[in-house]
Structure formats: C-alpha cells, structure tokens
Structure 1
C-alpha cells in the first residue's frame, strides 16, 4: 500500500501564498504568508499589524475599515473585504487609505463658512493687510 504525502505548500486550509503588499507612501512592500482562503479583511488587518510592528512610516492606524486593498491585475476596483485573497490569482497588492468623504454642509448652517469665504480674498486685500502691519523701529 502506497501512502500519499501531502505537499509542504498545502495544508488543511488549502494552498498558502507569499503575498507582497505595497503601502501607498511607504518605502517598501510588506511580505507574509497567508492561506488562499483568507478573507481580504483579515489580510488587511495582518498587514496593518505587521506595518506597525516594523515601525514603518507614515503611521497608518489600526482600523481595517479605513483601508482598501487593490490588485493590479483586477482593474481599478478595490477588492471586497469578503473576497478570498486567492480569488484574483495575484500575489502583489496595493494598500491605500480610503478617501475621506466630507459632507457638504449648507453655507448658512456652517459656522466656518464665513471664515473660509473670507480667506479666499483677492490679492488686493492681501497687499492692504500686509501694509497695515506696524513696523517697529529700533
């Protein structure tokens, strides 16, 4: 009777992959091994923890909901957090912070609306403001 030995790169969870994640603004990629059935959300969490453990800059934070993982071969859409990391068939990824969505407030309700509008004056107001500064003599 011949026994079949399981390959080293296969486990009970399936194949394991060495992935490389480039973080936007960081010097180099983060590399680690994951199972191909791992969820994208878990991979983002692992990448953030590894990034922080290595003391890399810029500091990113630890909330995985603030980040998107892109695969260069799958187009411009980010991977869903519920997808498996092995589904795109790639091993190189890009981790980016989600763009902040600012809620546009009505100008009458926003207390900072007047300040923002005031700062967008013309060059004449800047010149007048500059000349109105008092110069102290020695």
Structure 2
C-alpha cells in the first residue's frame, strides 16, 4: 500500500489546525516557491504540491477524506508491522520438538543448516591439496 501524501506536512503543519493556520502557511510557502522568486529551471513540483495540499485542506469534506486515508494507512502499517514481528519471533524461537512430529517446520532450519555444513565439508575435502 502506497503512503498517501500528507498535506499537513507539505504545508509544514501538524493536526489539528484551523483554517487560518492553513491559509497563512500556504501564503507564506507559496511566496517562497513562486516561479518569479525561484531560480530559472527549478521544478514547479513543489508549487503544485503546495496548491494540492491547500486545495485539500481548505475544504472540510476533502480534509475529512484526507484524514481518514491517513488513519487507514497508519492502521494498515501497524498491522503489517505486527505480522512481521510475529514472523521474526517464529524464526528466532522455533517450536519445541515435542509439539510436532518429525519433519515439522521447526526441524527445517536444522536440516538446511546441517546440509549446508555437510556441503562445505565436502568442498573443503575436495578442494584441499
């Protein structure tokens, strides 16, 4: 999931903000990044980002949609992190042997490690003069 652009950060704000704070931040930044004030050949991307952020945050409906998208992204990110921590925990702490029978998932890393060790031993014997 791609992170939605945070319009608050584009304008240098953090919620909750008032309409006056949004407007004053927009005016201040638009003056800094106006095409007449920046060097020739500069990218108009920052100006477009500012205009989009202001357009989004000045309308209450669009701002509510934006806030909801940020919230949903944060919740999805937290869920992904929980899943990743569980996976790492399972790798670091495999199940006990008495929980499952032979050939179970806890034995696979041991089998792979012993097979890799055996392969290294064979290569050492073969390649040693």
- Structures share a fold, TM > 0.5? no
TM-score normalised over the length of structure 1: 0.27
TM-score normalised over the length of structure 2: 0.28
> Greater Rg, structure 1 or structure 2?
2
Q: Compare the two structures and name the one with the higher strand fraction.
A: 1
Q: Compare the two structures and name the one with the higher helix fraction.
A: 2
